[in-house]
A = this chain, B = another copy of it.
């Protein structure tokens, strides 16, 4: 063993593993895993997004899927070597299946597999026209009556959705729909993206004035065309809007603006959706084979229903409709809620001389932006990481390779560091009466995001205003809305000229209910969350984001979205699942989870 390099060790294990799989010897293959093991597969084996936890689960999956998958060619990825650190040996791997090429990451402990990530890179015979295979562009040679590129684009715009039907319709033209659309176009899957606003990017432009991205640039790149080196760390909303508008054009997406979906229904006999849309006042009926809801994590506003809302004499709106502070200078605002939108909105109101009170109903997890950037993301998504050779794709895959079941264990020490680093900051907040949490198990922001998509604020300055008493704090549940303000359960009256309900967003299957029907929404169930049995993420454990980027209980209905990283990374796997179906490639799905929760 002393003379065996990590590369040799991993190569030998991959050879054994590959041989066992090729022989159909599931027992031998699973014996190569240690007790505490995880195999996360993005499409290649399971035609799903699935984590198999423990040898039994792995064996069951292989029993169902191995023969059809026919994996081979397991090796350390070209140009890579295995590394050893703290008892863990890690290597990038490549492999093939009958229909695809795959890439992944393996981690070993004591010669046994601890974590295995397998992901689909491309379908054989349907490789994307990139790099060496990029399209020629010009029409070389000579041929009569050939249309120009512009004429081809115009013909496509004229025909698709009318004379010809798209294979996929995506409802929602934000970054999720756009990223998926770009991947599908690369795979030559006819697709139409439906966007209710006037222009691509308006979903950002229409937000409150001071909004900037909360995730730093290295985390946010879209597929194929990363932000340039002069792009700001945190893009202002209008700048992101411009990028999305540009990207939609450059990627030649079929993107219908001013288009709302009125109704969608699936015909099991024809395996086809009927999607009735209003396109800028015209009704159009689309008949795609696949329907994707990319309506956004922050799209279906969750407006509370307090007694007395109808009698309030001032302005009131959900945070998603908040225009910014300009109309309220010198007035009084009450903001219900204490997470990201609430903080951003309160800070902007204060900056514009509005008397503002934040009503905190439950605890909030707060991290400072620079601490999160450096400690939370820096290893994978930062200028430093890029300079050290990290690519966006590798960062995404490393993150994807950390099993959700144990991810919190990796996160807790990082948040301990942040708690220590910013001790004075947190002391100041607590002194001001702000009620903090660190997630149910101290695992911090990203786990809260994965579990419930809410409950935190990435501090970019509002917390200091709370510490200094400039943003006033009130606590407790709202009893009712009066003509002149907010009445809390403990009797506190908060007079207001404007009330902002920064009360979050609902599960994306709410859109399925609105557009398709409650029965379908219930069949599909709640979107998002892992089943961690933590606040707002009830068990049982499902081990992957419910319903995201993979088959759902409603045939041919899919959900895409998440943050910019997830929109980017998971668009790869969703696009491949859709392409496979379009090409008639067999896609036997393994591991469809039960629907435990409706919303």
Contacts and interface: CB of A to CB of B under 8 A. Distances in A.
Number of copies: 2
B144 A351 contact: yes
Contacts of A135: 230, 232-233
Contacts of A129: 230
Contacts of A237: 150
Interface residues of A, number: 64
B230 A128 contact: yes
A470 B387 CA distance: 56
Report whether over half of chain A's contact residues are helix, strand or loop; otherwise say mixed.
loop
B236 A137 contact: yes
A501 B150 CA distance: 25
A410 interface: no
A242 B251 CA distance: 11
Interface string A394-427: 0000000000000000000000000000000000
Nearest to A214: B138
Contact of A233 (B137, B212, B238): B137
Interface in A227-277: 228-239, 242-243, 246, 249-251
A464 interface: yes
Nearest to A185: B230
Contacts of A132: 383-384
Contact of A464 (B142, B210, B239): B142
Nearest to A146: B351
A460 interface: yes
A149 interface: yes
A405 B10 CA distance: 55
B383 A131 contact: yes
26 contacts: A130-B230, A131-B383, A132-B383, A134-B217, A134-B229, A134-B231, A135-B233, A136-B232, A137-B212, A137-B213, A137-B233, A138-B212, A138-B232, A138-B236, A139-B212, A140-B369, A142-B351, A142-B464, A143-B351, A145-B352, A148-B238, A149-B236, A224-B230, A225-B228, A230-B251, A242-B249
Given A130-B230, A145-B351, A246-B249, 10 more contacts: A131-B229, A131-B383, A134-B232, A137-B236, A139-B212, A141-B460, A141-B461, A142-B350, A143-B351, A148-B238
